[in-house]
Amino acid sequence: MTKEDKFCPSCATALENKDVFGQERPVCPNCGRVIFYDPKVAVVCIVPRDGKVLMIRRATDLGYGLWGLPGGYVDRGEVVERAAAREVWEETGLRVEPGELIGLYSVSDDPVMVAVYASKETGGELAAGPEALEVGFFEIDALPELAFPRDRDVLAKWRNGVDGGGF
């Protein structure tokens, strides 16, 4: 149970952890409400240019100083593709059009699911946004140190034509 989940959102009774459907979950002993944690959805974009891909050097806690594909969290009510384009613009100054979904990735014990889109650059000016220390284009075979090992696998899958594109 996290700090935010101490009380039932329906009746304000203190929650207790109980086994529900084979997993420990917060349950209200008063009204019986079971709290189910929703996964968080993130998006990243593969943006090619001249045989290279766009990467950001992260300025946020998770992976600070390491590199990754541009992206971030989808806001509630936001269309996933619009979130992908927004995140790239916020982090890199480039406008993109997300294309085919390369895949949806998740790992055990991580509440974040990542949707990866092949994207096309449509405008803007390359510049590091507030969540990036640097931005740049890199060859897939010469990537900088990555914050998320998944990115290398995603790029290899994309390059090998899963999206019908690659370079």
Q: For the chain, how big is the Rg over CA atoms in Å?
A: 19
* Integer Cα distance of 11 and 6 in angstroms: 12
Q: Which of 16, 24, 100, 134 is catalytic?
A: 134
Cβ of 128: how many Cβ atoms within 10 Å? 16
The question of whether 131 is a catalytic residue gets the answer no
b/e map 56-77, b = 16+ CB within 10 Å = bbbbeeeeeebbbbbbbebeee
* Integer Cα distance of 54 and 126 in angstroms: 10
* Integer Cα distance of 101 and 68 in angstroms: 18
Query: So which residues are the catalytic ones?
Result: 134
